[in-house]
Amino acid sequence: MTRRVPGLLELYPQPLVEISPEDAARLHMADKQPLRLASRRGEMQALAHVTDRVPPGVVFGNFHFPGEANVNNLTQPALDPVAKIPEFKVCAVRVVDSGTRTGEP
């Protein structure tokens, strides 16, 4: 539904992954550097957005992009047992910058 919000693609025209300054420094990553996120279930490519909006050890990906750029491709298909809502909010990922360094924030 979020990809149908008017103006959202104008504000964020490409996939971004927010990463803390501490994790970016440890991974030798710069703001707007291409990176790849990988989980046991999938991968996606995006640009790094170094920000203090996320704590060290956590990354946040915007999810209004269809197809391969959607961060929900990394999550698990498990459903909440009561509400039957997919667990699209949390999963373990590995950050890979331009295919040269790996790390786990």
pLDDT in tens, 43-66: 888 899 999 999 999 998 876 566
For the chain, the domains span: 2-8+15-98
Query: Rounded to an integer, what distance in angstroms lies between the CA atom of residue 83 and that of residue 32?
Result: 37
Taking only the tens place, the pLDDT of each residue in 32-46 is: 999 888 888 888 888
Q: Confirm whether pTM is higher than 0.75.
A: no
State whether the Cα torsion 16-20-22-23 is positive or negative. negative
Fold of 2-8+15-98: Barwin-like endoglucanases (2.40.40)
Cβ–Cβ < 8 Å for 44, 34: no
Q: In what order do the strands lie in the sheet with 34-38?
A: 59-61, 16-19, 43-50, 34-38, 94-97, 101-103
